[in-house]
Amino acid sequence: MRQRSNASRGFTLVELLVVIAIIGVLVGLLLPAVQAAREAARRMSCSNNFKQLGLAMHNYHSAYKQLPIHGGGTDGPGAPVPFGNAGASTNWWTNYGSNNAWRLSALVGLTPFMEQQALWEQISNPSVVNALDPSTPLTTPWPAMGPTVQFLQYQPWVTNLPMLRCPSDPGQGLPAQGRTNYGLCMGDSIDWSVRGPRNNPTRTGGGALPAWKWQYHSGWSQRSRAADRGIFVPHGDAKFRDILDGLSNTIAMGELITDLGDRDTRGTQSINGNPPNEIRDNPSYCLDNNQVDPLRPQYWAPGQNTEGANNGRGYKWADFRPNWSAIHTIAPPNAAIGGGNNAGQTGMFPPSSRHQGGAHILMGDGAIKFITSSIEAGNQRAANVWQNNTVTPPGSASPYGLWGALGTKASKEVISEEF
């Protein structure tokens, strides 16, 4: 009589393949949800960074009765510095190391108010640290408030601050220095966005103005008052009392991506005129002149001249110039940058982000908004408001619709809809 075997029966190959297929389908269904959840968490973290920056801005204003100057810092005669041009100790133009030439962004002034007191102490005092060789102290120290921002040897300028980084932005390391994903709002005009109301005298001495001083200049002040309509004015004082349209109706800061070296139209600027009057007179100049790749609209066209690899968007958190730490409310979020002939010249720098469909902004009252790339932005071929513009002269309502109105602080525009 045969005995029945009690040994367990194994899986067949077909059964195993069916199970693997089912697991694969489940993973395929769940993966987008997991990725979406991760991005939602990163987006929330980015929003929280902005919230902390808003608190820092309000605490600064409470302490000093004004906002930090965007384009502040030091100026003065040449002096021996660790890394300067030999024989240039009295020539400001070739020896930036003895001062920072009023190029510091408002983010520098905010450092003590965003839990970076230690970094502020490094900046506000002379330093003998060489960031490229920290084990060997310098014999000649850096000046208090540091040199201009291009010096890689100056430790604070190459420090990445977590509060200034969006978790969704993958940009890391060189050729950037200290990256930032958050920039100060300069309003709805690019005219005078690197000059403001103060003019510099001849820095080698003499001139009509006292040597080694930045002075308010009548012509520059008139030009600045006409065009610098955002909360932050380059080289100028800014106070909450100046925001006549209301803190809750005016943008203080906006998000921006950092360049990845991939010719993204949001991360590196096209090269145009000096000054870039083409962009000032027509914000859609780059599109109208076929500078954007029609097959890949987020990238510059093959052969289009763009800024060098060292000057990508958001590469220098401590530099006030718009390419690195500022935004304009002309083109809507994630539109192409329209630049001048170099990174230091004024260009049109919209907000941008790695989040889907828009970018975060910080309002003057500290509220965080996510603005979609489809926000109503008026006539994108209308010239900016500036001093000699007869179509939209100084004092005009923003030609860039709701988006432009949100960027101006005292244009008497009424925000009649939720955004």
Please, which pLDDT band fits residue 98 given cuts at 50, 70 and 90? Answer: confident
What 8-state DSSP symbol labels residue 301? P
Who wins on pLDDT, 100 or 245?
Answer: 245
Q: How far apart are CA 278 and CA 276, in angstroms?
A: 5
6 domain residue, yes or no = no
Q: Flag the least confident range among 327-331, 340-344, 404-408.
A: 340-344
Q: What residue has token string 């100084």?
A: 394
299 domain residue, yes or no = yes
Q: Flag the least confident range among 95-99, 255-259, 317-321, 383-387.
A: 95-99
8 domain residue, yes or no = no
Q: What is the DSSP string of 80-94?
A: --TT--TT-TT-TTT
Over residues 26-39, the mean pLDDT reads 69
Please, which pLDDT band fits residue 74 given cuts at 50, 70 and 90? Answer: confident
Q: How far apart are CA 350 and CA 333, in angstroms?
A: 6
61 phi and psi, to 5 degrees? -65, -40
208 domain residue, yes or no = no
Residue 85, pLDDT above cutoff 50: no
Q: Is 195 helix (H, G, I), strand (E, B) or coil?
A: coil
1 domain residue, yes or no = no
CA angle, 304 then 306 then 309, to 5°:
135
The parent domain of residue 114 ranges over: 16-201+216-418
Q: What is the DSSP string of 104-129?
A: B-HHHHHGGGGT-HHHHHHHHS-B--
Q: Sign of dihedral through CA atoms 119, 120, 125, 126?
A: positive
Looking at the 3D structure of the chain, how many domains does it have?
1
- pTM comes to 0.85
Neighbours of 36 (CB within 10 A): 11
Over residues 240-253, the mean pLDDT reads 92
206 domain residue, yes or no = no
Please, which pLDDT band fits residue 411 given cuts at 50, 70 and 90? Answer: confident
The per-residue pLDDT of the chain, averaged, comes to 84
Contact 131, 156 (CB under 8 A): no
273 domain residue, yes or no = yes
Instruction: At 344, list the tokens.
Output: 């230091």
**Contacts with 121 (C-beta within 8 Å, 6 or more apart), sequence order:** none
Residue 323, pLDDT above cutoff 50: yes
Neighbours of 306 (CB within 10 A): 21
Reported as a single tens digit per residue, the pLDDT across 186-237 is 999 998 888 888 765 544 443 444 444 455 567 788 888 888 999 999 988 8
Q: How far apart are CA 12 and CA 9, in angstroms?
A: 9
Reported as a single tens digit per residue, the pLDDT across 132-156 is 888 888 888 888 888 888 888 889 9
